[in-house]
Amino acid sequence: MSKIGNIPVNAQAGKKRTNPLAGVFDELVQFCQSRSMFMLHYCTGCGAIELPPAMTSRFDMERLGIQPMVTPRQADILLVTGYVSVKTLKRVILTYEQMQSPKYVIGICSCTVNGGMYWQSYATAKVLNEYLPVDVYIAGCMPRPEAVIEGMRRLMRNIEEGKGHAWKDYFQRYDYYLGNQQHLFGDDWQTPTDIIGEARHYGLETEQTYGEHTRILEQHQQPLEPHKMRIKF
Amino acid sequence: MRPENYQLVALPNSDEYELFIGPNHPGIEGNYAFKLKLDGDRVISGKADAGYLHRGFEKLMEGRLWIQNLAIVPRICVPDPVPMEVVYSLTVEDIEKMEVPLRGQWIRVMQLELSRIASHLFTFGGHAATTGMYTPSYWGVADRDLALDLFEELTGGRVYHIYNIPGGVRRDIPNGFLDRLSDYLDYLETRQNDYDNLLFTNQVFVKRARNVGVINQEQALEWGVTGPNLRATGLAFDVRRDDPYLIYNELDFEIPTQTAGDCLARILVRRDELFQSVRILRQIIKHLPSVKGPVRAPIPNPLAWNVSMGESYCRVESSKGELAYYTVSDGGPKPYRVHVRGASSMHAVQVLENMAVGQRIEDIAQIMFSLDACPPEVDR
């Protein structure tokens, strides 16, 4: 029995399910999930310009059940559209950690794959996969709307076949991702989200969740205190 | 980021509070943030937070060959990339004392005006969407896509073309391209009435946009406002007419102006400019077949091209405002220094900060879109 705050939680990780219909139910859930996705497009770079054509009348992404969503907490897909500068990457990670599981990341443009055109730039993060688990990459500079939609369909197929598990990797290998983030942002890097606590809650913690980098995080982590707001009526 | 940086900060002993808009926000154009200090709904002060799109362009260009830089210059302004290529080529030609063949110049102007149409159509949609009208954004993006199809036929790329090189353009126009361009212009003119009814004379929009974000001419000149935003304050300044480049002095067009200087005036100037661009393109369709000759001047082996020593400052009128490049060559295979005067670098920073004061919070997005600020051009 673990606890979140003072509330006891029945986390029964690894318990074998006995219901014979569980597999059928999972398939049904995956089918539904793959057909109603809300995407949060973070316009990190140039690729954002091909999203309005893909979303509006001509290419019409909505027929696949994909709609833009304005808040990270209600979104399923995080679209990282283009190169991420170091300043942006902090916000991308914050946004990603706020999203509810299961969550998927799509890296659009060559710049998210290997740095692309800005491989020698001092200001950009080159490989997105080092900082966030990416489900699907759409290469191209910039990918056409058809390519964007094809990437979306590939993600839908992955989810339907039960292969969209990249988000679990973030919990399972948190030390690796955190290490890369600390390498870029400095040792005092921290986010308000308690990833280790979430990993425990989902039963996804492995040996690689902890390591030297999470120990550095613990040294610098400050407890979050609610701000006192003064509201006058 | 430290948690205290993005939480709502309550200021002691006052009703004022601070609020972040952006960088990931539907009311912000691109990856850009704006930090507001508010009292209720009123903005007391605003602080622009740029740098999310910084790639270090000017440094990157010093490390690449003259011809390689053509691939990265259009990335500086994503919705309107053609002026970037043209003005970079103009500076190199100016240093090398190169003469562009007349046909190449006409094709360049054709691209510039088509790109202006595409950029303005995109802006209409964005501006209307900030007031809650989503139909114009669907229309604008769909009509812009037809222009992108023409670009694809001409250059092979939808958004980034890399079609202009120092000395002219890469290749001649395809057969029948001018007919298809003419069809597109016919289509745009039939849409004029629809756009007017839907957006520009629609009271829902007009009442929302009038008297919001007003700047007068003095302020505009002081703050370095250029382009359609300056012409919306009543000053008919346009680089195309006042400092003509390429073949603009042979073309017949007007400089549309408005006097109010508010959000409505700015979008109306853009509307008129769009149809002036249509008028220019009609003249090009008429004249281009009679201009014979090559489309580019011969250049030396581009991979071993040492541009002669010198410096040049060239400016063009992009859809966002006055765009200029200052290029210095020390006689080597790479530029010694390239400086970009992005048109929106004034608009999105000090103009937006000054205009936000005293406005209501729901108008901030509209003001930003009405300035047509392009964040990648600010950060570069």
Binned at pLDDT 50, 70 and 90, residue A227 comes out as: low
Binned at pLDDT 50, 70 and 90, residue B115 comes out as: very high
Distance CA B164, CA B167 (A): 8
Binned at pLDDT 50, 70 and 90, residue B373 comes out as: confident
The arithmetic mean of pLDDT across residues A50-78, rounded, is 86
User: Does residue B36 surpass a pLDDT of 90?
Assistant: no
Chain B CB contacts of A230 below 8 Å: 10, 12
Tokens of B206: 């007009």
Phi, psi angles (nearest 5°) of residue B35? -105, 120
Chain B CB contacts of A75 below 8 Å: none
User: Does residue A63 surpass a pLDDT of 50?
Assistant: yes
Give B55→chain A minimum CA distance, Å: 5
pLDDT digits (tens, 9 = 90+) for A5-59: 666 655 555 566 677 777 788 888 888 888 888 888 787 888 888 888 888 888 8
User: Does residue A209 surpass a pLDDT of 60?
Assistant: yes
User: Does residue B343 surpass a pLDDT of 60?
Assistant: yes
Tell me if B82 sits within 8 A of B161, measured CB to CB: yes
Task: Give the model's pLDDT for residue B7.
Answer: 57
The arithmetic mean of pLDDT across residues A88-100, rounded, is 88
pLDDT digits (tens, 9 = 90+) for B135-167: 888 898 999 999 999 999 998 888 888 899 888
Task: Give the model's pLDDT for residue A126.
Answer: 87
User: Does residue B4 surpass a pLDDT of 70?
Assistant: no
Mutation pick from B24, B145, B148, B369 vs chain A, by most beta carbons of A within 10 Å, is B24
| B57-379 fold | Cytochrome-c3 Hydrogenase; chain B (1.10.645)
* Average pLDDT score over chain A: 82
B24 burial class (0-12, 13-18, 19+ CB within 10 angstroms)?
A: buried
Tokens of A72: 């990270």
Task: Give the model's pLDDT for residue B281.
Answer: 92
Task: Give the model's pLDDT for residue B2.
Answer: 47
- For chain A, domain boundaries: 23-164, 165-221
The pTM is what? Answer: 0.85
Tell me if A199 sits within 8 A of A209, measured CB to CB: yes
pLDDT digits (tens, 9 = 90+) for B224-252: 888 899 999 988 888 888 888 888 888 88
Distance CA A43, CA A88 (A): 10
Please list the residues that pair with A80 across neighbouring strands.
A42, A107
SS (H, E, C) B184-253: HHHHHHHHHHHHHHHHHCCHHHHHHHCCCCCCCHHHHHHHCCCCHHHHCCCCCCCHHHHCCCCCHHHCCC
- For chain B, domain boundaries: 57-379
Say if the Cβ atoms of B8 and A141 lie within 8 Å.
no
* Average pLDDT score over chain B: 86
Say if the Cβ atoms of A50 and B52 lie within 8 Å.
no
User: Does residue A2 surpass a pLDDT of 70?
Assistant: no
Task: Give the model's pLDDT for residue B1.
Answer: 41
Say if the Cβ atoms of B54 and A123 lie within 8 Å.
yes
Distance CA B368, CA B378 (A): 13
Task: Give the model's pLDDT for residue A54.
Answer: 87
pLDDT digits (tens, 9 = 90+) for B51-86: 888 888 888 888 888 888 888 888 888 888 899 999
User: Does residue A182 surpass a pLDDT of 50?
Assistant: yes
pLDDT digits (tens, 9 = 90+) for B174-202: 988 999 999 999 999 998 899 888 888 88
Give B5→chain A minimum CA distance, Å: 11
Tell me if A96 sits within 8 A of A105, measured CB to CB: yes
Binned at pLDDT 50, 70 and 90, residue A224 comes out as: low
pLDDT digits (tens, 9 = 90+) for A143-176: 888 998 999 889 888 888 878 888 888 888 888 8
Chain A CB contacts of B15 below 8 Å: 232
Sign of the dihedral defined by the CA atoms of residues B96, B102, B103, B105, in that order: positive
Task: Give the model's pLDDT for residue A42.
Answer: 80
Max mean pLDDT range (A7-16, A215-224, B8-17): A215-224
User: pLDDT over 90 for what percent of chain B?
Assistant: 19
Binned at pLDDT 50, 70 and 90, residue B212 comes out as: confident
Tell whether domain A23-164 is in CATH 3.40.50.12280: yes
User: Does residue A92 surpass a pLDDT of 80?
Assistant: yes
The arithmetic mean of pLDDT across residues B114-142, rounded, is 88
Task: Give the model's pLDDT for residue B280.
Answer: 92
User: Does residue A95 surpass a pLDDT of 80?
Assistant: yes
B10: closest chain A residue by CA: A229
Query: Which residues contact residue A21 at a Cβ distance below 8 angstroms, ignoring those fewer than 6 apart?
Result: none
Say if the Cβ atoms of B52 and A87 lie within 8 Å.
yes
Say if the Cβ atoms of A120 and B60 lie within 8 Å.
yes
Say if the Cβ atoms of B141 and A192 lie within 8 Å.
no
User: Does residue B47 surpass a pLDDT of 70?
Assistant: yes
Distance CA B166, CA B329 (A): 14
